[in-house]
Amino acid sequence: MSASQCTTIPNGIRLDQILPNAKTVGASELIVRSCCGQWDECEPSDLYVAVLGNETDGHDYAPDAVRRGATAVVGERLLAVDCPQFIVEDSRQAYGLICHALAGKPSELMTTIGVTGTDGKTVTSHLIHSILTAAGHPTGLATSIESRLGTSTANPPVANVNSPLLASQLTQMAMNDCTHAVIESSSISLAQRACSGLLLDVAVLTNIRRNRMGMHGSAENYLRAKTRLLDCLKPTGFAVVNADDPTTHRLLDQIETPALSIGIHQSAELTAKMLDRDLSGQTFVIRAGSESIAVRTNIIGKQHVYNCLSAAAVALTLGIDLSTIAQGIESAIIPGRLERIDCGQSFGVWVDSAKSPTQVATAIAAVGCGSKGRVWCVCSTDDSQSIEDRQKIGDILQKTTDHAIITSSKVCPQIDYEPTHQILDGFDDPERAHVIPNRLRAIEYALSNARPDDAVIVTGCGEKTIAMVGERDWSVCDRDVCQAWLYDNASVNKDDSGPQISHFDDFRN
């Protein structure tokens, strides 16, 4: 089954029951056993759902889908096809409803948690998964860095899921005896109605930053996309909202379902107070009513405290005690998210996936507040950044770091220098920045020049592969580069010939 197809039990579903408000042409009742949203992947007996894409309109290809065997069409307008048609206001929304119905409505079989937000949604999702696991609940997980469908094997992650894929993932979780499921939802997925048909017990809004509009075009569209997650809540569902975030704070009065607020500065049901922070981690107290518990995390920074509070709020709504919540938070492993690299060196090293100005600023602030020395940042150019984003990043680097090294997020022979110049445009004094296009060399430069008590953060890629090395084509990420250099150089006096790229083979055996 492809990512655009959804198939179900042989008996099928009645389409008029799934789309009761649709206008019908050619048939008022129709039994559907499979559907497809891509005309060139349609198979005989499929229902074809015509959706508007970024560059193409699926309605234009309905005749081609029928010629391939589609027996009916769902669309937003009447089409010149010789088969039954169901005309709806939003075919993307209809597509999601049909996919989940064909899959047996798997989200009704589990306790399902959805997480969205500008920053922190991936980490929060993993924290929730870790807490539920600590509580003994078999839990599925689908995020941009990892998918676990109830087995011990991790599946390839998908940044922006579509309706049939999400329905398929939830079905596999249910079939693998998961009692709970945690789903990360991006603004793109929500805008494209990929979560239509998904029913949630808890919806989490970590924050909504107005400077992350992306493809949405306006702050209003971006907000509308994010808050669509609330539309997925079951009648008994709960919302978790950050009271410290200005946008989500205003939503508290507008949310019709019960909501639990978290915060550090504003009054909220769940709050936190920092006790201690250094390069190795941070300790803070989570307070919920008259109860409280101390939590120690390897990930540092205020943003992570918010993530932990959101995860704790979800767990409390599901009846999990604070002791188990603390255990789950402390045992969570989240690759590439302010991940500390400790190889016995005398300075702090972290890798993080930060690409946007807000993410870069948050990551630098997190490591800088625990450092007694200088702050080094290896910062990446990335295709997702706009010219304005890059200029803002340059301004952030000059104000928050002692040494900034600008590099590429890719290791390739051809380097486009224009994005680098756009980051340099954000500096009042561009000569303060070091430009090292080769990512491996850029990381080594920062590590080789760091001194005791310094903080080095490598941003832009996180856990993602940046190169393939060796005869066996090992995938290498920033963590591997840092570990290889640190194990080879951090505690050993070297000559003055300069650091060299370490042999990754030595650290894979």
* Residue 137 pLDDT > 70: yes
pLDDT in tens, 311-367: 999 999 999 999 999 999 999 989 899 999 999 999 999 999 999 999 999 999 999
Q: Write down the pLDDT at residue 493.
A: 38
Counting the structural domains of the chain, the total is 3
Higher local confidence (pLDDT), 12 or 6 = 12
Confidence of residue 208 (pLDDT cuts 50, 70, 90): confident
Token pair, residue 209, equals: 């930053």
Q: Write down the pLDDT at residue 449.
A: 96
263/400 same-domain check: no
Look at strands 455-459 and 339-340 and give their pairing. Answer: unpaired
Cα(213)–Cα(52) distance, rounded to whole angstroms? Answer: 20
Residue 395 amino acid letter: D
Cα(278)–Cα(266) distance, rounded to whole angstroms? Answer: 25
Question: CB atoms < 10 A from the CB of 486, how many?
Answer: 20
β-sheet bridge partners, residue 351: 339, 458
Q: Write down the pLDDT at residue 508.
A: 38
Task: List, as one string, the DSSP characters of 152-215.
Answer: SSEEPP-SS--HHHHHHHHHHHHHTT-SEEEEE--HHHHHTTTTTT--EEEEEE----TT--GG
pTM above 0.85, yes or no: yes
CATH code (residue 432): 3.90.190.20
162/281 same-domain check: yes
* Domain span holding position 88: 5-102
Cα(447)–Cα(470) distance, rounded to whole angstroms? Answer: 23
Mean pLDDT of 386-400: 95
Token pair, residue 221, equals: 């569209």
Higher local confidence (pLDDT), 27 or 259 = 259
197/177 same-domain check: yes
Instruction: Give the residue from 44, 70, 102 where a domain finishes.
Output: 102
Q: Write down the pLDDT at residue 271.
A: 98
* Residue 498 pLDDT > 50: no
Which of 44, 211, 42 lies closest to 119 in space, CA to CA?
211
Q: Write down the pLDDT at residue 133.
A: 97
224/289 same-domain check: yes
Q: Write down the pLDDT at residue 413.
A: 56
CATH code (residue 17): 3.40.1390.10
266/132 same-domain check: yes
Cα(243)–Cα(262) distance, rounded to whole angstroms? Answer: 6
Instruction: Give the residue from 306, 331, 356 where a domain finishes.
Output: 331
pLDDT in tens, 358-389: 999 999 999 988 788 999 999 999 888 899 99
Confidence of residue 211 (pLDDT cuts 50, 70, 90): low
Residue 194 amino acid letter: A
What ranges make up the beta strands (E) of 243-315?
259-263, 270-278, 281-288, 291-297
Q: Write down the pLDDT at residue 242.
A: 96
- Backbone CA torsion sign across 160, 164, 167, 172: negative
As a whole number, the mean pLDDT across the chain is: 89
Look at strands 34-36 and 147-148 and give their pairing. Answer: unpaired
Q: Write down the pLDDT at residue 10.
A: 64
Q: Write down the pLDDT at residue 210.
A: 66
Confidence of residue 75 (pLDDT cuts 50, 70, 90): very high
Mean pLDDT of 43-50: 95
130/75 same-domain check: no
The phi and psi torsions of 381 (rounded to 5 degrees) equal -85, 150
Let me know if 499 is exposed, middle or buried by CB neighbors in 10 A (0-12, 13-18, 19+). Answer: middle
Q: Write down the pLDDT at residue 8.
A: 56
Cα(307)–Cα(287) distance, rounded to whole angstroms? Answer: 14
* Residue 507 pLDDT > 70: no
Contacts 24+ apart (CB under 8 A), 385-392: 385/355, 385/356, 385/419, 387/422, 389/356, 389/357, 390/419, 390/422, 390/423, 390/425, 390/426, 391/422, 391/423, 391/425, 391/426, 392/357, 392/426
Q: Write down the pLDDT at residue 509.
A: 37
Cα(229)–Cα(244) distance, rounded to whole angstroms? Answer: 20
Instruction: Give the residue from 57, 80, 102 where a domain finishes.
Output: 102
Count of alpha carbons within 13 angstroms of residue 406, beta-carbon side: 29
β-sheet bridge partners, residue 404: 377, 433
* Residue 174 pLDDT > 60: yes
Confidence of residue 215 (pLDDT cuts 50, 70, 90): low
67/115 same-domain check: no
* Residue 482 pLDDT > 70: yes
112/98 same-domain check: no
359/472 same-domain check: yes
Chain center to CA of 482: 24
Mean pLDDT of 403-411: 88
Cα(258)–Cα(192) distance, rounded to whole angstroms? Answer: 26
CATH code (residue 124): 3.40.1190.10
Q: Write down the pLDDT at residue 223.
A: 78
312/413 same-domain check: no
302/347 same-domain check: no
* Residue 234 pLDDT > 90: yes
Q: Write down the pLDDT at residue 18.
A: 95
Confidence of residue 29 (pLDDT cuts 50, 70, 90): confident
201/233 same-domain check: yes
Mean pLDDT of 79-96: 95
